[in-house]
Chains A and B, each alone.
Chain A
């Protein structure tokens, strides 16, 4: 067979394959046009779905008292009001949870500022902040539980926008938000709707439902014992939202394994936004909780294998591993300093993890640092950096990362 025939055969098969499968409805283009319009208005902010509800924070003991979290629930109400024009005000914090230590700007709770059509979605006893862009923040008691509060961020007709909530160190921070919370956002390319949450480390059941029936898979759970938390994340195609008539509720619940009430450890760790969504750095944590540079130190006779990117359905060409041998690296006073130097230089890109490495002593005056796959070196390494003793100190001799 000549090359012309070979390509023609491939073309015929490809045309048939694409024509036989259902393609997205044309109406989605209209929806995406609306999304783009909001994205433009949002001036680079992350698009987030209508309501973020956070509950399960029980301040029954007041400051310093015991906080309990039997469940985390969110109910997302999506409104359908045309969006006002304007830009996001990222300087004013929204109202927040009922903690006496958290300042609440009562001057921002003017319900009259809420556009017609929205008011019914905002409880009378809530506190509100309506930004010029038409984005509204609200904090209000959960109607199902007197000691639970919800935080709502709404953007007509389907979307809301925010930079960050969590500790008030970034963007539109919400200081005082309890560490058990959930964040919902679109991925950068708007094709996916991602959610991420943080819960006590011993939370074992996390369930998410979209609408009445759609189950959303929690496909990423990070146990972070060093901070006493479990961080979880999931996603579903954004089309599921766009194809549903608003309001679209998103339900999230977290319970203990035996249904027991879970105690919340102390508050104080920082979490940043999931604005990068699934296109984020290789560390993959939607909540970038900076881990220590080294999490463990072991000795071994051999190095873990750097895993290859497996791609996934529809990805025919997963990227190969990357890395290189280094013969002229800086000589630094310790192996750790050599690692830090590499991470600050050649691997400074955010795609590479800058913490969470396991130090591997090899017993031959060389050391390696491995970022474990799935937190377990037995599964392999995502990054492997080799350091060797040399005249006057230590130097990096090679590094390799998974193409993913």
Chain B
């Protein structure tokens, strides 16, 4: 295992091997990682309400292949890749959800409350090109190293660096603030 998250393919989600609860270490892994993965789902999808769903889908995928995923050095990277890869489909699903909401009226679900400034920052990040948004979210939200982001996104460190540089340049303009100069 080289530290990179293995590829997530659609066929992996078709796996239907019987699973028996509890799986060794899965519950601890879930408890340790869920909130962080759900936060990533929110940042990339824009839906605080749907973020749990996407996070659960990712953990469900891991659960069903836990015999393999559980042996990885960093199963959390695999789950994050699932979330990142599915962000586009979740955006689409979020729009569907919003259709439902206008039809059904507001429902009372507990969603994390955040300040308008924070919401604006993530909204601006979601408007970045997809890979820039993913790299930015992983780097800042999960405080991953450049190597860590590269492992999740399955690209080179230099590519991550480029994504982040371009993202910060765009964000400085759209958020009407200064571009930082730390040179990463």
Contacts and interface: CB of A to CB of B under 8 A. Distances in A.
A309 B98 contact: yes
Interface stretch (B1-9, B50-58, B154-162): B50-58
Interface string B23-61: 000110011001110110011001111111100100110
**Which 3 A-B pairs rank lowest in CB-CB distance, beginning with the nearest?**
A314-B49, A312-B101, A17-B112
Contacts of B16: 36-37, 40
Contact of B39 (A1, A7, A15, A24): A15
A220 B103 contact: yes
A404 interface: yes
Contacts of A36: 16, 60, 64
B111 A314 contact: yes
7 contacts: A14-B122, A15-B36, A29-B30, A30-B63, A32-B60, A309-B99, A311-B101
A313 B98 contact: no
Interface of A: 1-11, 13-15, 17-24, 26-30, 32-33, 36-37, 40, 189, 191, 217, 219-220, 235, 237, 278-279, 282, 284, 307, 309-319, 402-404
Nearest to B126: A317
B178 to A, nearest CB: 4
Contacts of B146: none
Nearest to B26: A26
B69 to A, nearest CB: 13
A20 B52 CA distance: 14
A272 to B, nearest CB: 18
A353 to B, nearest CB: 12
B63 A3 contact: no
B43 to A, nearest CB: 7
Nearest to A307: B102
Given A309-B99, A312-B106, A14 B114 contact: yes
Interface in B164-183: 168, 171-172, 175, 177-182
Interface in B50-107: 50-53, 56, 59-60, 63-64, 93-107
For B36, B115, B118, the residue with the greatest tally of chain A CB atoms inside 10 Å of its CB is B118
A10 B118 contact: yes
Contacts of B152: none
Contacts of A311: 98, 101-102
Contacts of B171: 3, 6-7
A404 to B, nearest CB: 4
Nearest to A191: B53
A14 B182 CA distance: 23
Contact of B179 (A3, A313, A316): A3
Nearest to B171: A3
A10 B64 contact: no
A11 B52 contact: no
